[in-house]
Each structure stands twice: as C-alpha cells, then as structure tokens.
Structure 1
C-alpha cells in the first residue's frame, strides 16, 4: 500500500511540472506577442536553463555508455535469447533513427523560423582530420569529463565499458558504483528539470518576440509530425513485425497494456511501468527467462521513440537556426545517437541531454537551440515513452516466438480476455507465468495449432 501511495505522489508531482510547463509556454507566447521587445530581453532565462542541461551532458553520457556497454556481456552470455535481443534492439533503434531523419528531411521542421541569434562559442575546434582524431583523446583520464568534448567522454566511456566486460565478476563492484553514480546524476537532472517552466517561458517568449507567431506554428508542426511518426511506427512497423512473427494484433496487445500506458502518460517515463511489463509479459505466456532477459535489456537498448525524437529535433534546430545539417553530418549524428542514446530510456529528461550532447559533438553552434525545444519537450516525452514501452513489449513476444519459449494458445486467451491479469496476484508476486520447461512440454504442435 505504501508503494502504491508513493507511486501516486510521484505521478502527481510530475503532473504539476507538466501543467507548469504548459502554463509557461502559453504565458511565454502571450508575452512574446504582446511585448516583443521585452520578450526578446528574456532570452538569457532560456540560455540559463540550456546551460544547466549542458552541465549534465558529460556525466549522463558517461554513465549511460559505461552501463550499456558494460552490461552487454551479461546479456550476451545467456545465449541465444541475449544475442537475438541485442541484435533486434540495435537494428530497430537504428531503423527508428533513420525514420526520424527521413521524416525530418521531408517536412523540414523549423523552416522559416529564424533563431540564428542563439550562438555557442567553441574554442580550439580542430581544422584537419588528423587534429580531429587526436582531439578525441583527452589529456588525462578524468579531463574528458571537464573538457566539454563529448567525443572524449564517449571515448573514455567506451574504454571503461569494454574493460568492465573483460573483468567479468571482478568488475561487478565497479559497474554497481557507476549505476549508483548514474542514479545520482539523474536525480540532479530531475531537479534541474523542475526549472523547465522558467526556461520554457524565457525561450518561447524570446523566440516569439523576435520572430513572431510563426514560431508557434513551427513548434506545433514538429510536435504533430513527431506524434504522427511515432503512431505510424507503432502501428505499421512494430504492428506489422509483430503480426508477421506471432500473428498477434498490435491493438489487442496495446489494450492489454492499457493501465501501463496510463501510468507512462502520468509520469512521462516508461521506467515507471517496468515491473508491470515484466509481470504482464510473463502472464501473457512468454517464459520467465525470455522476459527476464529481454525486458531489462530493452530498457537500455530499445529506444525507438527516443531515436525518432533525437533526429527530428536535431533537424528542426539546425533548420530553424538557418544552418541545416548536411547529409554527412546527419549520418555522423545518427551513428553518435545509436551509441549515446543507450541507457536513456525510461528517464525523463535524458533524451534532452542526449540531444544536446549529439549537437555539441557535430554542430556545437546549434546547442543553444535546444532552449527552443524545451517548451515542447514535455509534450513529446509521452510519445517517446509510449513508443519505447510498446517496442519492448513487442520485442518480448517476438523473441519468445523466435526461441519457441512462448505459449501461443495462452497468448490468444489472455489477449482475448479469457485469462485476465489479476492485480491481486501481481501484488502478491504471482503472475501464473509459464516456465521454460512447461512451454517446452506443451510442444511445437500446439504452437502450430495456435497459428
């Protein structure tokens, strides 16, 4: 009961922040239209919030990369399930990033919006390929966290992650320490996000004051395009793949996960529904080992919604600042996002920090444009979380089907409502989930009948 009350308190607090951001955006737009000169002077408020986000880029990237890479060995050693899950997640995340780039290049979000006055001074930028490569190597191991170079942070984090892989059990303590550090970093980030209404007010007021109401149209275009893209990705891509492999209808699966979606919308984080997803995937008929491997791995490696957001938001900022990303820059950004986004799933605000990190790596002059995104970031966070969550649920069923550790008849019964999920049993820790041995005993013939 105490945990339930704590969950409701957490949902309520996030709702307050969500409402505050909405009020701030509306207020900023009104001030920008009514008093453009005064509104333009509020630009430092938005810049201040961006500076706080930029302050967190290095520790967020470091922790997520170390934990993501350091945990691969654990997932891969479980055999076929771990290997399939990792391969599937990497392919789907890359595909989602590419979709974001394609949609962004088609609709050109931010076109006609001039926010070029937002600048970011960069010192010592390398001018040759050799200098660029040598610039990735930090002066000292720890200086990468203070140099302001995200590539240096990425380089050191990858080294640490691979080293933890090689250490095996000896590195468990160090990996646990990094996870504790990540918890602290995200707690600080969560505290900073409570300043989002102030930052959103200053950024929106300044943009509208300088460019006029057209800024609101551009932001609305990006948000609507993002929602439509996520919806199509869920229904067409994930739904099509799910039907092709398991013959399960995506809408029936989403109806089954209805309560979890409400929880995600309330918290803007898919992490809040993690325990329930594990329980419901076991209840629906996927074996405990498959669920135990696939779901946690997916929360670090399967970021479909975040991937779409990162690429579309990057193109929006670049276009709005009058300096669109070239194709090579877009490809480089995509590669960076594939690596840097790992571990950001489920944590509100991590996508914003990853976006800033990607821009700082390839186009540092665009980082201050993140301040404009702040105003609608909260509106898009629900779509990101819902897409990530749905992707993990679909992946669990698909991996279960590929490894033949799924009871297809039970899946049909559960999704049809004949075997409803018992909330009382969930509270008691019993989901009536089939074990691998039970599913193997059912045999392949039963699966064939269910088809």
Structure 2
C-alpha cells in the first residue's frame, strides 16, 4: 500500500493535536503506571496479564492479512520477478552477516566483562526441573522440522495458523502467480490494494488500544517477577543491555550511516512502536505498524513485505547477542572453562539453533536450551540461574531485533536503488506527516 497523500485537513489535525493525544506518550505513561501498579500491588498487577495478552492477540490477528496483502500487491505490481529473488538474496546476505556479528559481539563482551565470574555455582545444586519444559521444546525444534513447518497444510491455513513464515511463503507464491497472468490480474490486484487500505485502517484502530495493552503487560511483568529480582543478576542484565545498546548505536549505526541516514533519527521515528515493544515484550505487537512506517519512509512496498516478515525470523540480532552472552555467563558461573575452540563451536551451534527456533514463542530461551543441549560442557540446568530475569532481558532482545529489522529494510532498499531518499529524510526529520493512527 502506497502512503496516502496528506491533505490540508490531515496537517491541521496534527498541528492542533494535544500532547496527551500522542500515541508514544500514552504508551510511555501506561508503562509507568503498569510498573507502579505491579510494584506496589503485585497481586493486582499479576492479574492484569489477560489485558496484555488480549492486545497481543488482537495484533497477531491482523498480522497475516497485512503480510499477505503487502507482499502480493508488491510483487504483482512490480512485474519484474527477477528482482524478487535478488531482493531476497540481498536480504539474507544482510541477515547472515549481522546475525553472525551479533553472536561474536556477545561472545567478546562475555569474555571481557565476565559477568558470571565469582558466583561459584555447583551445577548439582540447580533445579533442572525449572527449565525442563524449555529443554523439551528445544529438542522438538530441529532445522528439518523448521523447514517443513514453513509449508502450510492448506493454502488458507497459512492465513489462519499464525505462522509468519507460512504466510510469507504463500504470499510470495500467490504474488508471483498474479504477476504471471499479466493484464488479466489487474482487476484482482486493484481489489487487493483496496482491501489493504481497509486492513491498515483496522491496524490504526487496534493501535489505539496500545496503551492499555502495554499497561497490562508491564503490570503483570513487575507484579509477577518484581523489580527486586533484577538485583540478583544485575551484572548480567546490565551487561546485556549495554551490549545491545552498543550494537545498535555502533554496529547498526555504521550500517545506517553508510546507507545515508542516522540511526538516532530512525529510533526517534519509531519511538511509539519501540515503546509498545518495550511494554509488551513482543516485537510482533508492532509488526504491522513497522511495515506501514517503512513504506511511509520511502521503502518500496515489495521490499518491505519481503524483508520485514523474513527478518522477524532470521534477523534476530538481540537474540543472538543474548545466546552467546547467556551461555558464557552460565559457564563462568559454574566454573566451566571453555577454550576458544569450544566457544567457536558454541557460536556455530547457536547460529543453526537460532534458525531452528525461528517463529517459536519464547524463542530466545528455547534457542538457548537447544544450544546448551548440543554443547554438553555447559550444563543446561544452569539456565535456572537466569530464568528469573529472562523476562526483563526479553524486552531488550525484542527492541534490538525490532531496530535491526528496520535498519535492514532501509539498507536493502538502498542496495536495490529503490529507496526514496527524499521521503526517508523527510520522514526521519519529522517534516513528512506521520501515518495516521487515529
């Protein structure tokens, strides 16, 4: 869907919009209220879980139609089918490079900071039962099973199962098929474009409930786990947040600068979505908005439709930093010495297991279990050490993954020579009207 042309009424609407009606401020206020409720009234905060879960379910309900319509209309309207494979190839090259780099960054920081040193934990004293469920899910998640899982049981099943990669697979096939029938497909293409307008209007309606969803999710997190749990493993949490921030500002910042834009301006442009991801601890909650905003920032619909959904499964920078950092933290805490070669083996296993767990709920912790189960020198039971603070690290994983996918979309669009640079800078500088969410 091409961004709608702003009218004078739109401009006037935004100019006179009071500060308290701004979505990102509403979400921020809701997060703060959720923290206060969860801290002072833990039981009440924990009871807010259905509110957060309900909002995430609402967003997930619309994700499949958004992806399907964006990709089908993008590919069918492009007509040059050779460019589809070229865009996919460039996207996967980007994903592979930066995902691998994230693993190395996590490994390097863990060796320098050594957040687990000095804990002297005896693995025999750990309660392996606490992580047994994650370990069993990790064993069920194999690379072969993942590849077969991309193929849906039925064509329509891809739109109802809630699997992003299945939706992506079917949408690409249908988009190519529609492009191949030429002029006879024009009427259907026009109809799908009209449907996409309605679907994105539904997204705008759902986003009005974002503050409520963020409030419920944050109240539950603080009420159930408590801010105090952070103190026990403050070194690991602080190291992970600092490493992720370093990766975003330096590594992704350099990539953004080479592509001709500022990472800080991009973060400011996506502030409402980032606060929503922070509040719900789920990057999927902001996926439809990310697709719309990337199109609004001058990225072609066909590239946005391919890169964003695929990146949600394959471009997991935050998850990869977490995997090597958490693995080495557990090894250090249990006084398990890993040679450089063993650490490289751990990194290689993490690269494969992260693809096998793509699209699985709680993929970060499950992927960690899959990695440790293959590298026997690090006890899987050691995951019990970080189980209490994993929820807080999940928020940082989601934020880093989200920013990484936004950067990837702009970079791949630039590589293809199809980025509207003027529109990008206008959007990032705030001179172009934002997509309406009301």
The question of a shared fold, defined as TM-score above 0.5 by the shorter chain, is answered with yes
SS of the residue aligned with 1:88? helix
1:96 to 2:102 alignment = yes
In the TM superposition, what is the alpha-carbon distance from 1:325 to its structure 2 partner? Answer: 3.0
Match for residue 282 of structure 1? 295
Instruction: In structure 1, list runs of 5 or more residues that go unmatched.
Output: 25-73, 122-144, 184-193, 205-214, 428-451
SS of the residue aligned with 1:226? helix
Q: Tell me the distance in 2 between the aligned counterparts of 1:365 and 1:251.
A: 38
Closer/same/farther in 2, CA of residues 115 and 176 from structure 1, 3 Å limit: farther
Match for residue 254 of structure 2? 240
Match for residue 114 of structure 2? 108
Match for residue 84 of structure 1? 90
Kept in 2: contact 1:15–1:267 (CA 8 A): no
In the TM superposition, what is the alpha-carbon distance from 1:90 to its structure 2 partner? Answer: 1.3
Kept in 2: contact 1:269–1:346 (CA 8 A): no
Match for residue 142 of structure 2? 154
In the TM superposition, what is the alpha-carbon distance from 1:327 to its structure 2 partner? Answer: 2.6
**Number of residues paired by the alignment?**
320
Aligned pairs for 1:283-302 within 5 A: 283-302=296-315
Deviations 1:118-153 (Å, cap 9, x if unpaired)? 4589xxxxxxxxxxxxxxxxxxxxxxx9x9696785
Deviations 1:7-60 (Å, cap 9, x if unpaired)? 99xx98x95899479979xxxxxxxxxxxxxxxxxxxxxxxxxxxxxxxxxxxx
Q: Tell me the distance in 2 between the aligned counterparts of 1:333 and 1:199.
A: 32
Kept in 2: contact 1:269–1:347 (CA 8 A): no
Kept in 2: contact 1:271–1:345 (CA 8 A): no
Q: Tell me the distance in 2 between the aligned counterparts of 1:113 and 1:82.
A: 45
Match for residue 325 of structure 1? 338
SS of the residue aligned with 1:423? coil
Provide the alpha-carbon RMSD of the alignment.
4.3
Closer/same/farther in 2, CA of residues 413 and 258 from structure 1, 3 Å limit: same
In the TM superposition, what is the alpha-carbon distance from 1:412 to its structure 2 partner? Answer: 1.3
Q: Tell me the distance in 2 between the aligned counterparts of 1:23 and 1:199.
A: 7
SS of the residue aligned with 1:419? coil
SS of the residue aligned with 1:78? helix
The two structures have a TM-score, normalised by structure 2, of: 0.62
SS of the residue aligned with 1:313? helix
In the TM superposition, what is the alpha-carbon distance from 1:326 to its structure 2 partner? Answer: 3.1
Q: Tell me the distance in 2 between the aligned counterparts of 1:337 and 1:76.
A: 33
Deviations 1:140-174 (Å, cap 9, x if unpaired)? xxxxx9x9696785264267369x5xxxx998588
Match for residue 275 of structure 2? 262
Q: Tell me the distance in 1 between the aligned counterparts of 2:434 and 2:224.
A: 42
In the TM superposition, what is the alpha-carbon distance from 1:290 to its structure 2 partner? Answer: 0.8
Closer/same/farther in 2, CA of residues 83 and 22 from structure 1, 3 Å limit: farther
In the TM superposition, what is the alpha-carbon distance from 1:377 to its structure 2 partner? Answer: 1.3
Match for residue 28 of structure 1? none
The two structures have a TM-score, normalised by structure 1, of: 0.60
SS of the residue aligned with 1:356? helix
